[in-house]
Amino acid sequence: MLLKKLELAKTMLLRAIQLSLLSLSILIVGCQTQQQQACLQIQQQTSNLPNTLQLADYYVVINKKSVKGIANNLSALTWNQDTQTLFGTLNKPPTIVELSTTGDLLRTISTKGIRDPEAIEYIGNNQFIIADERHHKLLKATIDKRTTFIDGHSLPQIKVGEVQKFNKGLEGLAYNRETQTIYASNESDPITIYKVTGFIENQDITITEINKNWSLLIDDISGLHFYQPYQHLLVLSDESKLILEVAADNQLVGCMPLIRNQHGLLSNIRQPEGITMDDQDNLYIVSEPNLFYKFTKK
């Protein structure tokens, strides 16, 4: 009799634990998906807006491809329209990488004097802007087909913003070719996007912050891309697993969740760290440790 009572008590205790864990998991999932649910609502509300990318129509065609030759720390992405290839960064060791549009490693370029390259942006004529997260610096480098090494100590460079917390510095770059404006984002604490003018043309430099009334939807910024035809900024968030489309007047006009069962994804994009688009409006994302994604419109 006592044994039966003990077994019954054990069963009831296990059920109570299971229910508690289930409740906890539901709570956690709810917290994780609030932003994605808001994003899906934004997709519906902006589906008929003219002159937007219509991010809801994008579908993954290369899904979670491991880039051979890169073991870890793949971060940042930019499109070079002159070579029709992609460039990204690794921070351990600090390296620039060139990728094909199918996610194959084409070459690596070693560096020194760039401690933590977290973003890269092509600005034309073999010129790139590189963001050093740790030192809050932007550097201007030449990379052509013969480049195998970059010495950051000898490059033109400027400081943008102030380091607030360790490993929470410059994380994204974008470029408006018409105005020669660089957009540089601080990852978090606080989320900030700077507009930098004058650095490209070697003129007087101005640095201002843009309004971010949409930033409550995300917990960080891990990448940027400027879509030239519409003058819109794409903002990538690693922690929130979202892409935001922001118009020139800083209004939110689109959103794309990077989670399972959305846009053909089989699983959440683990740690999206870089975003860019090519001349055909294909969308590319890289994720640590070495994952490559390509999206196209349906």
DSSP state of 27: H
**pLDDT at site 41:** 92
Helix then strand count (H, E) for the chain reads 1, 21
Q: pLDDT for 18-74, tens place per residue?
A: 334 333 333 333 444 688 899 999 999 998 899 999 999 999 999 999 999 999 999
All residues at 6 or more sequence positions from 86 whose CB lies less than 8 Å from its CB, including other chains: 77, 78, 79, 80, 98, 99, 100, 101, 276, 284
Global pTM exceeds 0.85: yes
For position 162, what pLDDT does the model report? 78
110: which residues sit within 8 A by CB, 6+ positions away? 93, 94, 95, 148, 149, 150
Coil, helix or strand at residue 48: coil
- Residue closest to 78 by CA, chosen among 267, 286, 219: 286
User: Are 205 and 156 contacting, i.e. CB atoms less than 8 angstroms apart?
Assistant: no
Q: How high is the pLDDT of residue 158?
A: 97
pLDDT of residue 212: 85
Residues of the chain with pLDDT > 90, as a percent, come to 78
3-state secondary structure of 8: helix
Q: How confident is the model at residue 189 (pLDDT cuts 50, 70, 90)?
A: confident
8 Å CB contact between 273 and 288? yes
| Whether 249 contacts 237, CB under 8 Å | no
- The pLDDT of residue 163 is 66
Q: How confident is the model at residue 12 (pLDDT cuts 50, 70, 90)?
A: low
Q: Which two tokens stand for residue 52?
A: 């937007």
Structure tokens at 202: 């070697």
Radius of gyration of the chain (CA): 22
**Distance separating alpha carbons of residues 286 and 78, to the nearest angstrom:** 10
Residue 121 pLDDT exceeds 90:
yes
How far CA 17 is from CA of 5, 8, 89, in Å, comes to: 18, 14, 45
State the pLDDT at residue 26: 33
Please state the rounded mean pLDDT for residues 135-149: 97
Q: Which tops the pLDDT comparison, 114 or 17?
A: 114
Lowest mean pLDDT of 36-45, 149-158, 287-296, name the range.
36-45
